[in-house]
Structure 1
Amino acid sequence: MKALVLAGGSGTRLRPITHTSAKQLVPVANKPVLFYGLEAIAEAGIHDVGIVVGETHAEIEAAVGDGSRFGLRVTYLRQEAPLGLAHAVLIARDYLGEDDFVMYLGDNFIVGGISDLVSSFEQDRPTARIMLTRVADPAQFGVAELDRNGRVVGLEEKPEVPKSDLALVGVFLFTAAAHEAVVELKPSWRGELEITDALQWLIDEGHRVEATVISGYWKDTGNVTDMLEANRLVLESVESRLDGEVDAASDLIGRVVVEEGASVTRSRIVGPVIVGAGTRVSNSYVGPFTSIGANCAIIDSEVEYSIILPKASISGARRIEASLIGHYAEVTPAPDTPKAHRLVLGDHSKVQISS
């Protein structure tokens, strides 16, 4: 079995962060979300991975390399434009050959991995197996309809009137029959080749398409709210580690990681929190579920439930929460503005706020 990882999307819902960074490389607990998927693939015993890349191919390739750090052999497949999930299968035809494959969306975050799903697929041998989860707003997703026996009988992409609350999770398993389906497709109203249409074609042609409904945690980390929630979940399981320096005037409470080269002075940190390598926290409060990247500066400030990307600086900010701060962003005081702030700052941003 091979894996096909999709890392070519433009990440419009995470702008301005994704004006300069691939959405799949935005960190969750200081690790790019894409890496969690690659680790799950390796844990499932899959070693050959094709990564579909687009405009951000150079950044993805620099981060992942040849895949050896994950125990993988990576091949990069260029997609000239984001023309749909099924289009990614189409361009990967020569790479995938006649092998079974798992398709994994690179910006999806799934707790528990995919090992059980892969094992089940290899034992039962359906033509395709999909993962589903119940959602409050199914009209925002691909939606599946199941019969009374739990078999998939219909699929639709972002329907106006959903037939169920079962949304497609970004992991799909296929036999080589998938290639027959994608060549038959026409672009949808969105101008894309939809994977839901490919699955529906297989069903209409009499192929067996099965579903696994998961009750565990899944997020499409395409927006700030979901990124922060995924970050919270990972930090829930972090173990305390002190590799940097903490002075006697500081308090670390709960599970806190201070990485090598980081320093904490005259500050209070309430975990779970990660302080990245080379970061300086001084005279500040850092609250739960905060990830601070490498080489940041948090000075005379309060930060909670936030993701701060490498080389950002926050100085004199009375309160920042539920925020995503980009690379090299600078936050400094300004008079006569509110004392609580919610920020989404792109790389190299400069913002003045009231202390």
Structure 2
Amino acid sequence: MRALVLAGGTGTRLRPLTHTSAKQMVPVANKPVLFYGLESIARAGIIDVGIVVGDTAAEIRAAVGDGSRFGLKVTYIPQHAPLGLAHAVLVARDFLGEEDFLMYLGDNFICGGITGLVEDFQVKRPDAHILLTRVADPGAFGVAELGPDGRVVGLEEKPERPRSDLAMVGVYLFTPAVHEAVRNIQPSRRGELEITHALQRLIDTGRRVDSTLIEDYWKDTGSVVDMLEVNRTVLESAEPRLDGLVDEHSEIIGRVVVEAGSQIRGSRIVGPVVIGADSRITGSYVGPFTSIGERCRLDDCEVEYSVVLPETRITGVRRIAASLIGRNVEVSPASHGPRTHRLVLGDHSTVQIAS
């Protein structure tokens, strides 16, 4: 079996951050969300992985390399425009050959991994197998309708009147039968080749499409709210580790990771928190569910429930919460303003706000 990981797309819901970075490379607990998917694929015993890339190909290639760090063999597959999930299958046809394959959306996060799903598929081998989860807003997703026997009988992409609350999660398993299906569908009203249409064609031509309703945590990290929530979930299971310097005037409470080369001076850190390598935190408070990237500087400030990317400096600001702050950002006080701030800042920004 092979794996096809989708790492193209424009990441419009994470702008302005994704004007300068791939959405799959935004970190969760200081590790790109894409890496969690690649690690799950490796644990499932799949080695040959094709990564579909678009405009951010260079960044993803630089981070993933040949895949050996994950125990994988990676092939990069260019997609000239994000024309739908089924289109990604089309452009990857030569790589996939006649093998079964797993398709994994690179900005999805699934607790518990996919090993059991892959093993079940290899034993039962339906023509396709999809993951489903119950959601409050099914109209924002691809939605599945199940028959009395639990098999999938219908699929719709972002329907105005959903027939169920069962949304498709960004993990799919296929036999080579899907290739005929993707060749025989037309673009949707969005101008994309939808994987829901390809799955529906499989059903309409008598093919078997199975599903699994997942109980484990799942998120599409395509928005700031979801990214912060996934960061919170991962940090809850962090193992405390103090590899950097914490002086006697600082207080460390709960699950806190301080990477090598970092210095905590005269500060209070309340976990779960992860602080990346070579960062410096002085006279500050870092509250629960916060990730501070590498080579950051925090002086006389308060930050909680936030993600701060590498090489960012925050000075004299109270209080930053529920924020996603990009790389090489500078945040400093202005003369007047509110005490609480919520920020979504792109890379290389400079912002002045009230202390």
TM range (shorter): over 0.9
SS at 1:207 equivalent: coil
Residues 31-46 of structure 1 correspond to what in structure 2 (within 5 A)? Answer: 31-46=31-46
Aligned match of 2:256 = 256
Aligned-partner Cα distance in 2 for 1:47–1:14: 30
Q: Determine if the alignment matches structure 1 residue 56 to structure 2 residue 92.
A: no
User: What is the Cα deviation at residue 73 of structure 1?
Assistant: 0.2
Aligned match of 1:280 = 280
Aligned-partner Cα distance in 1 for 2:260–2:301: 22
User: What is the Cα deviation at residue 336 of structure 1?
Assistant: 1.8
Aligned-partner Cα distance in 2 for 1:330–1:14: 19
Aligned-partner Cα distance in 2 for 1:342–1:41: 35
Aligned match of 1:203 = 203
Q: Determine if the alignment matches structure 1 residue 214 to structure 2 residue 197.
A: no
Aligned match of 2:338 = 338
Aligned-partner Cα distance in 2 for 1:16–1:218: 24
Q: Determine if the alignment matches structure 1 residue 9 to structure 2 residue 37.
A: no
Aligned match of 2:121 = 121
SS at 1:77 equivalent: strand
CA offsets, 1:321-353, max 9 Å, x none?
Answer: 000000011110012211101100000111111
CA offsets, 1:169-212, max 9 Å, x none?
Answer: 00000000010100001100000000000000000000000000
User: What is the Cα deviation at residue 148 of structure 1?
Assistant: 1.6
Aligned match of 2:151 = 151
CA offsets, 1:98-132, max 9 Å, x none?
Answer: 00000000000000110000011001110000000
Unpaired stretches in structure 1, ≥5 consecutive residues = none
User: What is the Cα deviation at residue 246 of structure 1?
Assistant: 0.5
Aligned-partner Cα distance in 2 for 1:95–1:239: 39
CA offsets, 1:235-292, max 9 Å, x none?
Answer: 0000110110000000000010010000000000000100110100000000000000
Residues 1-355 of structure 1 correspond to what in structure 2 (within 5 A)? Answer: 1-355=1-355
Aligned-partner Cα distance in 2 for 1:51–1:272: 32
TM-score, length-scaled by structure 1: 1.00
User: What is the Cα deviation at residue 149 of structure 1?
Assistant: 1.4
CA offsets, 1:145-169, max 9 Å, x none?
Answer: 0012111000000000000000000
Aligned-partner Cα distance in 2 for 1:134–1:35: 25
SS at 1:169 equivalent: strand
Aligned-partner Cα distance in 2 for 1:125–1:275: 44
SS at 2:184 equivalent: coil
One-letter amino acid of the counterpart of residue 212, structure 1: T
Aligned-partner Cα distance in 1 for 2:55–2:318: 38
Aligned-partner Cα distance in 1 for 2:119–2:67: 23
User: What is the Cα deviation at residue 311 of structure 1?
Assistant: 0.3
Q: State the 4+ residue runs in structure 1 displaced beyond 3 angstroms.
A: none
TM-score, length-scaled by structure 2: 1.00
Aligned-partner Cα distance in 2 for 1:170–1:127: 17
Matched residues, number: 355
Aligned-partner Cα distance in 2 for 1:338–1:85: 44
User: What is the Cα deviation at residue 219 of structure 1?
Assistant: 0.3
Aligned-partner Cα distance in 2 for 1:137–1:160: 11
One-letter amino acid of the counterpart of residue 33, structure 2: V
Aligned-partner Cα distance in 1 for 2:70–2:239: 22
One-letter amino acid of the counterpart of residue 288, structure 1: P
One-letter amino acid of the counterpart of residue 50, structure 2: G
CA offsets, 1:65-86, max 9 Å, x none?
Answer: 0000000000000000000000
User: What is the Cα deviation at residue 41 of structure 1?
Assistant: 0.2
Aligned-partner Cα distance in 2 for 1:216–1:241: 27
Unpaired stretches in structure 2, ≥5 consecutive residues = none
